[in-house]
Structure 1
Amino acid sequence: MTISDASPADLDRRPRRHPAWTMVAVAALALIAAGSFTTIAGLITEPLVTTREWSRGGIGVAVAVNMVLYGAVAPFSAALMDRYGIRRVTAGALAILVAASTLMVTAAPSVVWFVLWWGLAVGIGTGSITMVFGATVANRWFRRRIGLATGILTAASVFGQFALLPVLSVLLAHHHWQRPIIACGAFAALALVVVLVFLRERPESVGVGRYGAAPDDDPVGTRTVNPVARTVGALTTALRDRRFWLLATMFALCGATTNGLMWSHFTPAAHDHGMAATAASSLLAVIGLANILGTVTAGWLTDRVEPRHLLAVFFAARGVSLAVLPLLFSSGLSPDLVAFAVVFGILDVATVPPTLALCRSVFGEDSALVFGWISVFHQVGAGAMALAGSLVRELDGTYTLVWLAAAVACGLAAILGAVSPRQADAPAGGNYRGRGSSDEER
């Protein structure tokens, strides 16, 4: 039964709180659980080298495979969710993470197995539960407040990446390197149970419409086409549109100035200035906590302000914060560094809700798939910065040029954000037909 044919008695029995917000809470838990796996490799690298005598190169291969799959799997997971269901795909991904964490501590006698379990299995599991998953949930369950919903889900993803690091570092300091992995696996198991019990596919399955939808709005339908063909088709169509390239380039610069920096270089840079790893992890945790404020506020603003204006402001402010960072480093947790962590955290992933809004406006029903491909560019930018930063540090002896280059990259991203397509270029939720469409269809 849908909202359009519900009887008055059914309407009276309908709960006051729309179930869309319950879906956001469940999806947020899954995103936090998956996010906890994404940054732990840097935490356990040194113990693996000293206790297992594994080479850093072999561990680096596993991390590289993991990062590539994290980006590459995302667009295909969105199509699989459309074809086979959000709950089924999400539960499968969480089950993979639980199995991979178990195998990591019980069946990894050499670094080759680490590449298999951590690089391949965890890469697939985390790549299936990214903001593409969050966008799919938001698109299915929300007509209004969709920016706020995506902001909450984006915050959850980054919270899992950074805010849990101090807890995991304490487990590492007081126990074996296996304890943080076991903790992440247990968290994934909890999320798996919650997803199986509470996650629902679409509003119509519980007798309501999308949050904020009019009674005569069409529900989001289920796709029956081949998910791989649909994913590749969405990419080939988007590649012919200059708006895709503009957003993809902007997001590559975004990845270079966030994941590529903080996942790979912040802790080594802090160590260069005499800071302990636990202190650096605490600053990364502050970044993760500040992300909650930043991304939720960005989502709220996206519902009210032209997204391209937000992108220009967010990237410009991020660039300024990175430009001054070399002047702030010290051997301890100074107030200036804490202030940087708060400011950078607010700006870190605040670019996601407005970018998602532009994708929905331009690419319509395929927006989650297209955003998945744009996210691949994000990871390519992150990987490029991770490699370039290491080379600069090795040649120059400091990370100063890395932070300044990232500030310049943010300036370029701010310009691209300012010239991005206006949100009114296409009706939200409409069908994207590419450059060959008529102006009316767009």
Structure 2
Amino acid sequence: MKKQSSSKLYYGWVVVAIVFLTLLVSAAISSVPSVLMQPLEKEFGWDRGAVSGAVSIRILLYGLMGPFSAAIMARFGIRRIMVFSMILLIISLSLTPLMTAIWQMVLLWGVLVGIGTGSLANVLGVTIANRWFVKYKGLVIGMLTASAATGQLLFLPLLAKITSDIGWRSAVYAVVAVLVLLIPIVSIWMRNHPYDVGSAPLGTSEVVKPAPFIGNLFLSPILALSSAAKSLTFWLLAGTFFLCGFSTNGLIGTHLIPACGDFAIPIVTAAGLLSLMGLFDLIGTTLSGWLSDRFDSRWLLFWYYGLRGLSLIYLPQALGMGYTQLTIFAVFYGLDWIATVPPTAKLTSDTFGKEKAGMIFGWIVVAHQAGASVAAYGAGVMRDILGSYTVPFVIAGFVCLFASLMAIRIRSRASQVKVQGV
């Protein structure tokens, strides 16, 4: 060990900026299907349930990649995995405009995009926060989580406009161009660990070489899950996160634009609503990270899930009443869209330790994406059967109220027992 060298700018903030930008683009890719759903229906005659099925596979794989990507990043380095994932995304997106059958949509957007974006998931942000920061860890997690909202803020209206004016294929190629520009930034300036720049995690003074990854890339995440599964806290965190995914990207992120289309709201206007949510979620999630450094994360989750549930119950009325009411929903819902991530990640780190936090949080994200996958597919099927999204929106509202009650059952930090082994 050696003392940290002095520097005006802590390099960890450069790493945060690069990862923020990468997650921002990944979020933009994840939001593309909501813009493409109606054009694909019109051009190919694919029903909403079939397109939603491809999206649900992507969402599920996005989650399943989490714990394994944490182990792979520990073994091969964060920078290398980021570059590989972006190359995979470029290939799959470049082939998308050539597809003519629904199985190709499933392969390209369900499987390949699912793997690519899953390697650039929330686990990446948690890994960066744990490696580079002791001080401001919650704030950093909040900032990196908020990148998903910012991705929608920047890209959704633009992609909707390109789709409306030029066509959906041009919108896909626009995302490919952004990925091509991002690869050299990651390749040149990204670093894997503070030790690479002779630094210590912010909040400490000792520069320590990272321990080499020990264990099997695929077995270690399984062992981490087996160990964590003995803790009630893990199941409560996973359960609330399942309901979180059910009520956010799986439902609203996938189906709000098509739901607006059912009320003759133009696609660009609907994308603007999601963009507005992104703006307020950027504020809310960053603030949530700051709050999680100062207050009991269990009660933060109680309020976040409760308020989200009320807003979703209100949504069917807002859709029928007009743009002003939808704007109120967008602001209210947007403030805590993914504000649940920083307190959930913090509880995970506090309970299981930062060494295991990446893989275990990855499994909790699997639960989140499983919930999102169920909502993405289920809401599409229910809309085909019932002719509207009212029932799935109201169901999501009530499950959020249930999640708020689950959150306060999580044991406080003082009573948590660290899981040993693995």
Normalization by structure 2: what TM-score? Answer: 0.93
Aligned counterpart, 2:237? 247
Partners of 1:83 and 1:223 within 8 A in 2: yes
Secondary structure of the structure 1 residue equivalent to 2:16? helix
| Amino acid in the other structure paired with 2:368 | H
1:129 aligns with one of 120, 124, 135: 120
Q: Distance in 2 between matches of 1:418 and 1:301?
A: 17
Gaps of at least 5 residues in structure 2 are: none
Secondary structure of the structure 2 residue equivalent to 1:129? coil
Q: Distance in 1 between matches of 2:271 and 2:300?
A: 29
Aligned counterpart, 1:290? 280
Larger Rg: 1
Aligned counterpart, 1:440? none
Aligned counterpart, 1:38? 30
Aligned counterpart, 1:353? 342
Partners of 1:138 and 1:150 within 8 A in 2: yes
More divergent stretch after superposition (15-24 vs 38-47): 38-47
Secondary structure of the structure 1 residue equivalent to 2:254? coil
Q: How big is each residue's C-alpha offset from its partner over 1:182-220, in whole Å with a ceiling of 9 and x where there is no partner?
A: 1111112222211111110111111110011143x8565
Q: Distance in 1 between matches of 2:198 and 2:188?
A: 18
Larger RCO (CA under 8 A, 6+ residues apart):
2
Secondary structure of the structure 1 residue equivalent to 2:167? coil
How many residue pairs get matched? 421
Q: Distance in 2 between matches of 1:298 and 1:318?
A: 14
Aligned counterpart, 1:257? 247
Is 1:27 aligned to residue 19 of structure 2? yes
Pair 1:400–1:59, CA change in 2 (3 A): closer
CA deviation after TM superposition for structure 1 residue 385, in Å:
2.4
Q: How does 1:349-388 map to 2 (within 5 A)?
A: 349-364=338-353, 365-388=355-378
Pair 1:100–1:413, CA change in 2 (3 A): same
CA deviation after TM superposition for structure 1 residue 113, in Å:
3.1
| Amino acid in the other structure paired with 1:43 | V
More divergent stretch after superposition (416-425 vs 252-261): 416-425
1:64 aligns with one of 37, 53, 56: 56
Aligned counterpart, 2:305? 315
Secondary structure of the structure 2 residue equivalent to 1:235? helix
Report the identity percentage.
34
Pair 1:409–1:110, CA change in 2 (3 A): closer
Pair 1:271–1:115, CA change in 2 (3 A): closer
CA deviation after TM superposition for structure 1 residue 157, in Å:
2.0
CA deviation after TM superposition for structure 1 residue 161, in Å:
4.1
Partners of 2:245 and 2:368 within 8 A in 1: yes
RMSD across aligned C-alpha pairs, in angstroms? Answer: 2.3
Normalization by structure 1: what TM-score? Answer: 0.89
Aligned counterpart, 2:7? 15
Q: Distance in 2 between matches of 1:353 and 1:89?
A: 23
CA deviation after TM superposition for structure 1 residue 67, in Å:
1.8
Secondary structure of the structure 1 residue equivalent to 2:218? helix
Aligned counterpart, 1:343? 332
Q: Distance in 1 between matches of 2:99 and 2:308?
A: 40
Partners of 2:241 and 2:367 within 8 A in 1: yes
Q: Distance in 2 between matches of 1:390 and 1:109?
A: 21
CA deviation after TM superposition for structure 1 residue 362, in Å:
0.8
1:76 aligns with one of 68, 77, 100: 68
Q: How big is each residue's C-alpha offset from its partner over 1:287-345, in whole Å with a ceiling of 9 and x where there is no partner?
A: 111111011100011111111111111111112222222332247521x3212211211
More divergent stretch after superposition (237-246 vs 144-153): 237-246
Secondary structure of the structure 2 residue equivalent to 1:151? helix
Is 1:92 aligned to residue 81 of structure 2? no
Pair 1:323–1:36, CA change in 2 (3 A): same
Partners of 1:78 and 1:133 within 8 A in 2: yes
Aligned counterpart, 1:202? 193
CA deviation after TM superposition for structure 1 residue 383, in Å:
2.1
| Amino acid in the other structure paired with 1:117 | L
Is 1:147 aligned to residue 138 of structure 2? yes
Q: Distance in 1 between matches of 2:345 and 2:136?
A: 13
Pair 1:267–1:48, CA change in 2 (3 A): closer
Aligned counterpart, 2:174? 183
Partners of 2:138 and 2:289 within 8 A in 1: yes
Runs of 4 or more, structure 1, over 6 Å off, are: none
